[in-house]
Amino acid sequence: MGTYHPELTKAWLYPPSLGLPRTLPFFRAMEALQRRFISPKARKVSVSETADVYFVGPPSGRTPAPALLWMHGGGLVIGTAVSEFSFTLERYSPHMDVAMAFVEYRLAPEHPFPAALDDCAAALEWLAAQPDVDSSRIAIGGVSAGGGLAAGLALRARDEMDVQPVFQLLIYPMIDDRTAHRTDLDDMPAKLWNQTCNRFGWSSYLAGATGDDVHSHAAPSRAEDLSGLPPAWIGVGTLDLFHDENVEYARRLQEAGVPCELKVVEGGYHGFDLGRAPVVQDFHRSQIDALGAAFDPDPAG
């Protein structure tokens, strides 16, 4: 399977899995506590009967500004917008004058597909309608399940919505339910997210749907037509459970005529980018450069 990147020396600190579904009640309790500690920088807005957004304007205050709509990770069954608020803001805000909106979407198994995607779509429509946001320069992105929701939202926007994102930032996205059926990955020494977690996440989100019954907006890798989607950046490590599906999705986007930059980190595991090693900083810089180019494709002009 390969070895961890030499700069990721603390890989042993990361658990092999989250122990789902057994640990689900624990994570839900912790998330309830997290919501009490949201940064005062964030303005909480209800964008629908079921979805909230935490909004932060551009650092300079200049408007209308480009915006990044962020979907949190957690395998579609755990996680909260608050849990990724601070480090995501710190990752991008110092490098670009952009507004950011973090979606608090409904989780499975209580709320299977399309609940989470409905909430993300409502957030996108709300964000595009804000007078201090440039609706022609909205990027969508997220990590893991959040990246999968961003990819699904890009498909939904193309197929059904008036708002068209300018870019999709997909950080080791969870996009193919068929990976959960691969027995050859059962013994993979995956960090944070293994096959047990993956099967629970997908079965919870799809609520029993299999094969042709799985909607492509739920599992974007199942989409037969990827043309007309916004340009994308996809990043993943070689020791990530989602490596193969991410590389294949990038290839298919490129074949469909969609500009897609693929960043593969040798020896990177799921969640490796939470540290500050040089390889992690390079991973972040690639994202920042891609976002900057999407928001301002011709800075000299």
**Tens of pLDDT, residues 194-234:** 999 999 999 999 998 999 999 999 999 999 999 999 999 99
Before 21, cis peptide (omega within 30)? yes
Closest CA to 71 of 161, 141, 157: 141
Cα separation of 263 and 95, whole Å?
A: 20
Tokens of 214: 């799985």
Amino acid 183: pLDDT = 96
Amino acid 35: pLDDT = 77
> Has domain 11-33+44-294 been given CATH number 3.30.390.50?
no
**Tens of pLDDT, residues 2-18:** 788 999 867 666 666 77
Express the helix, strand and coil content of the chain in percent, nearest 5 each.
40, 15, 45
Cβ proximity of 102 and 53 under 8 Å? yes
Question: Strand order of the sheet with strand 99-104?
Answer: 43-46, 52-56, 99-104, 65-71, 133-143, 167-171, 232-237, 260-265
Counting as low any pLDDT under 50, the low residues of the chain are 301
Amino acid 301: pLDDT = 43
Tokens of 202: 């997908």
* Nearest-10 crossing angle of helices 278-295, 81-92: 80
Domain ranges of the chain: 11-33+44-294
Q: Which residues contact 261 (CB under 8 A, 6 or more apart)?
A: 232, 233, 234, 286, 290
Cβ proximity of 185 and 195 under 8 Å? yes
Largest CA-CA distance found in the chain, in angstroms, rounded: 55
Annotated catalytic residues are 144, 240, 270
Q: Which residues contact 272 (CB under 8 A, 6 or more apart)?
A: 5, 8, 11, 191, 237, 265, 279, 280
Amino acid 141: pLDDT = 98
Cβ proximity of 78 and 62 under 8 Å? no
Q: Is 269 helix (H, G, I), strand (E, B) or coil?
A: coil
Kind plus residue range of the DSSP H or E element containing 187? none
